[in-house]
Amino acid sequence: MELLTQINGQIAREPRRSPFKINSLLQAALDYCGRGFSVIPVKPDKKPYLPWAEYQTRRATPDEIKTWWSKWPKAMIGIVTGPVSGLLVIDCDTPEGFNAVQEKLPDSLIMPLARTPRGGQHLYFSYPEDCNLTVGAGVLPGLDFRGLGGYIVAPPSQNGKGKYIWQIGLDEAAPPDMPSSLLNLLSQSNLKSYSSLEYSKGDEVTDSKRLQTTSNDFRIFEQGRRDNDLFHVANCLIKGGAEPAFVSQVLQTLAENCRPPFPEKEIPTKIQSALGRAAKREINFAEEVRDFVVTSNGFFLTSDVFKRLQVTSRQEKKNVVLALLRLFKDGLIERHGERDGCYRRIENEVESIDFMSASDETLDIRWPFEIEKYVLTLPNSIVVVAGEPDAGKTAFLLNLVRLNQDRHDIHYFSSEMGAAELRNRLLKFDCPLDSWKFSAKERSGNFADVIRPDDLNVVDFMEIHDEFYKVGGLIKQIYDKVNKGVAVIALQKNRGADYGLGGSRGLEKPRLYLTMGQGQIKIIKAKNWAMENVRPTGLTLDFKLVAGCKFLVEKNWRHE
């Protein structure tokens, strides 16, 4: 939890001076209701506007909520904790209380986190099954909690003291299970009667009467917590590498000694749950999230990352959120706007441009269809050729090799052709096989590792089967390796699409971007014009491919 401490000061925002729009409070209350939370209207002094005992066992309907906020449009939003909402909330009034909680939480645990107007913290956890946790004050200095019979004020509520703000929103992290060390601390706290409880520091006041419990009510492996305790043991054993058979024997022994004994037939379910949790925990989205971020433009939402990486489970989403918070800590991304889970990549990479000593030479590269008449090829350039299946990408690249093999050292990296197939393709050309002068290598990925910085590199082709957003990052990796040379990269393109796989993410680094359809080639992007009065971008040429190697021009370059 050290991470939460460090980001606490960074992402906290000062309350706005202008009041919230009234409908934003109602909309937020309805959103909480839609999440399955029990919502009540709360006064600025944090007392409910109405008797709320019934909402500890049933959730208000949307119509009830609309009626309440129509009557009290500036009401703060109270979320009833406990089983009705499935929430157990830790309330930290002081830094000491917050630090005490952190000591009992693993660094990898991410939970919804809200800041109170007085600078306190609300940490949201799921309410444990078979649990009777109520409410507690002063469990540790500055540390309270809200369970059965309590409620918490939620963002975007505000009163005269300020505003409640999500620091880690519910869209970024689902309320996790509370670690047993913290759960035991709350369970063993000796709570007093709440019939006259008042909070001197302005915390929420519960309406519960005679809610008491003692440490004797929460002894381990007894009624009310057998289920959680056995699962915790199974989870710890699995994480420690124990075999399922060993875990089963341990749990059977413990189950027999529970008070009352735990049903033996339910033990396999505990083991399977622990195995499932362990397997999911091993899934690491850190690299996938970083790849997404480094190729992103503008701002993005946490939900965009969920969709792109196709994550659905709570554990997977938590891992994604943790990865984003790490990137936030590392200064790669920053919060964007006021929407929960909205980020933008910080583009702080700056390279010096030595224009005084830069060369104005161009590379003598000849292109099929005489593209060099319209576009200059400069050193340190990326060229992309995006083509539909069977549109002639390989023929284009082999013609490029043929036209330049006497001018440059050429390295041709093929991801789909072996020696025999490449030989057959070269034999189709009207020249002896031994007249070819280039280096041919088999390669299907990590092309940046084999790029020759000062030569002509041809990648045929960059295979992307999923996670197409990575295209921009892969192209940049190659760009970073090119010095005085050029890399020509072939990409697949869906029929009728404007760009190759990866869409516009692949447009950033190329100085020349070509697309090939059935019998047509088009210049999508060209940054270096060969003729001042002829803009190459948008030029289109129609061709016919003969014998898999020879291009016949049917309609020359023109703007359509």
Write down the domain spans for the chain.
Answer: 2-218, 286-345, 368-559
Between 200 and 531, where is the model more confident?
531
- Per cent of the chain over pLDDT 90 is 43
pLDDT value, residue 450: 94
Question: 227 or 170: which carries more pLDDT confidence?
Answer: 170
Q: Report whether pLDDT(558) > 90.
A: yes
DSSP 491-508: EE--TT-SS-TTGGGGGS
| Higher-confidence position of 65 and 94 | 65
Instruction: Give pLDDT tens digits for 338-373.
Output: 777 889 888 776 667 777 776 678 899 999 999 999
CA angle 37, 43, 46 (to 5 degrees): 75
Predicted local distance difference test score (pLDDT) of residue 370: 96
* Cα of 418 vs its chain's centroid, Å: 38
Distance, in Å, from the CA atom of 288 to the CA atom of 95, rounded to the nearest integer, reads: 34
- At how many degrees (to 10) do helices 314-329 and 2-11 cross? 60
Of 106 and 444, more confident: 444
At 545, which amino acid appears? L
Q: In this model, does residue 215 exceed pLDDT 80?
A: no
Name the DSSP letter for residue 262. P
Confidence of residue 219 (pLDDT cuts 50, 70, 90): low
Is the four-CA dihedral 71, 72, 78, 79 of positive or negative sign? Answer: positive
Q: Which of 540, 542, 505, 545 is nearest to 526 (CA)?
A: 540
Tell me which of 442 and 227 has the higher pLDDT: 442
Q: What is the pLDDT of residues 177-214, one digit of tens each?
A: 888 878 878 877 634 333 333 333 334 434 343 333 33
> Is 368-559 a CATH 3.20.20.70 domain?
no
Q: Which residue has the higher pLDDT, 329 or 373?
A: 373
**Considering only CA atoms, which of 75, 408, 367 is closest in space to residue 64?**
75
Q: What's residue 97's pLDDT?
A: 81
pLDDT band at 416 (very low <50, low <70, confident <90, very high): confident
- At 277 the pLDDT is 57
Alpha-carbon torsion, ordered 497, 503, 504, 505, to 10 deg: -170
Weakest mean pLDDT among 22-31, 48-57, 107-116, 209-218: 209-218
| pLDDT at res. 96 | 79
Top-level class of domain 286-345 = mainly alpha
* Amino acid 209: pLDDT: 37
Instruction: Name which residue leads in pLDDT, 399 or 261.
Output: 399
pLDDT score at 10: 42
Residue 20, pLDDT > 60, answer no
Reported confidence tier of residue 146, pLDDT bands at 50, 70, 90: very high
pLDDT band at 461 (very low <50, low <70, confident <90, very high): confident
Give residue 37's pLDDT: 95
pLDDT recorded at residue 204: 42
Give the model's pLDDT for residue 346.
86
State yes or no: pLDDT of 313 exceeds 70: no
Q: What mean pLDDT is reported for the chain?
A: 82
Identical fold, 286-345 and 368-559? no
- What is the reported pLDDT for 107? 63
Structure tokens at 466: 């999923």
Res 278: pLDDT: 54
- The pLDDT assigned to 19 comes to 39
CB atoms within 10 A of CB 16: 13
Model's pTM, two decimal places?
0.42
